[in-house]
Structure 1
Amino acid sequence: MSAAQIRAEINGLIASKFAEGTVNQYFLQLYVMWRYKKIRKGMVVEVMERFLQDADKILTEIAVLLNEPQLDYDKVEGIADQLEGCSSSSVGAKRVNLSCVEYFHPEAKTEEGNQPVVDFDKVDALVQQLKGCSSSVGANKLSVSCMHFRRFNHSKTKEGYLIALAPIMNEFCDVRNMFLTILQMEEQVDALGPKY
């Protein structure tokens, strides 16, 4: 496949994700600056990789909190805030496999057979952080999912949090897959030599 064909596939992927609302104008601007060498490629890759690392870390921390024998609602809310802060422009797609939700184990019970207690304030803070970091990469749907998550925080139930986190996980998976695909395709273009 030629560099021009790969470039056309990249442009098609970005256009479709923009049309879906997965990414916003900020992502388009970031990509265009990279593409036309107004900023160095390494900087854009660093921004994308940092977002992916931060978001993955936050989602892992939420999973750990939701699996604790005692659910501390305040901690969960706090982590949710961090997640929202990390991704405020939101990214994601609803078609992503719900298997991402497998990180959470709602069937976990305490020794007394009661539902575990989760620190929901910490989860909420992490979601807030994710929302903020997603804005840095133009991940629009993820940010919106983080905002929707905040509505479930008032219920203070583990089931409510799990339901609210499913779209966040889906949107993160979609954005991560898109970013990684673009990076891989850009490497293919670079390997083909001189620019089109």
Structure 2
Amino acid sequence: MPLMALRERLNVLVNSMFLEGLLDQQFRQLQMLQDASSPGFVAEVITLFCEDSERMLTELTKLLDQAVVDYQKVDAYVHQLKGSSSSVGAQNVKLACIQFKQFCEENNKEGCLSALNMVKHQYYSLRSKFDTMLQLEQRIQAYDSEQQN
């Protein structure tokens, strides 16, 4: 697929993510930090966000599986996930975390379980699009490398 077509697919994907509310302006800020000296910057940030999010979601699931829930620990993980979501512009994940934090403050286990499911849903929706985005980025970089050689 020609380079221009790949770039167009990537732009369409990112624009659709904004329209769906998956991303906010913070993601545009990340994109502006990427330049010729760091062509993989956005991909690296997305990869780290996904790795951290997976780890936090696993920990949250374990914590909420306990008979006696440590809501302070749950809240700390939710706060961390909210922060990393904000830093990459993952708007829907961030908003779901805000709701989750409310249930933590109320020590509401059923609310927390429901909120965890919503956070997971929002995260996996975003993750799927991020995976496609990273694949397109890799193909664009490979194409650019071929053109330079």
What TM-score results when the alignment is normalised by the length of structure 1? 0.68
Q: Distance in 2 between matches of 1:162 and 1:48?
A: 26
Q: Secondary structure at the match of 2:127?
A: helix
1:12 paired residue number = 12
Alignment deviations for residues 144-193 of structure 1 (CA, whole Å, 9 cap, x no partner): 11111122224423222111112111111122222221111111122223
1:46 lines up with 2:41 in the alignment: no
1:118 lines up with 2:69 in the alignment: yes
Query: 4+ residue stretches of structure 1 with deviation over 4 A?
Result: none
Indicate conservation of the 8 Å contact 1:33/1:39, yes or no. no
Q: What are the within-5 Å matches in structure 2 for residues 1-196 of structure 1? A: 1-34=1-34, 37=35, 40-68=38-66, 116-192=67-143, 193-194=146-147
Letter in 2 for 1:5: A
Q: Distance in 2 between matches of 1:117 and 1:67?
A: 9
Indicate conservation of the 8 Å contact 1:142/1:168, yes or no. yes
Q: Distance in 1 between matches of 2:4 and 2:40?
A: 22
CA, structure 1 residues 140+39, in 2 after alignment: closer, same or farther (shift >3 Å)?
farther
What TM-score results when the alignment is normalised by the length of structure 2? 0.87
Q: Distance in 1 between matches of 2:37 and 2:128?
A: 23
Indicate conservation of the 8 Å contact 1:6/1:189, yes or no. yes
Q: Secondary structure at the match of 2:40?
A: helix
Q: Distance in 1 between matches of 2:106 and 2:83?
A: 23
Q: CA RMSD in A?
A: 1.9
Which is helix-richer, 1 or 2? 2
Letter in 2 for 1:130: L
Q: Distance in 2 between matches of 1:190 and 1:46?
A: 14
Percentage of identical aligned residues:
39
CA, structure 1 residues 39+174, in 2 after alignment: closer, same or farther (shift >3 Å)?
farther
Q: Distance in 2 between matches of 1:127 and 1:157?
A: 14
Bigger shift: residues 41-50 or 128-137:
41-50
Q: Secondary structure at the match of 2:68?
A: coil
Q: Secondary structure at the match of 1:194?
A: helix
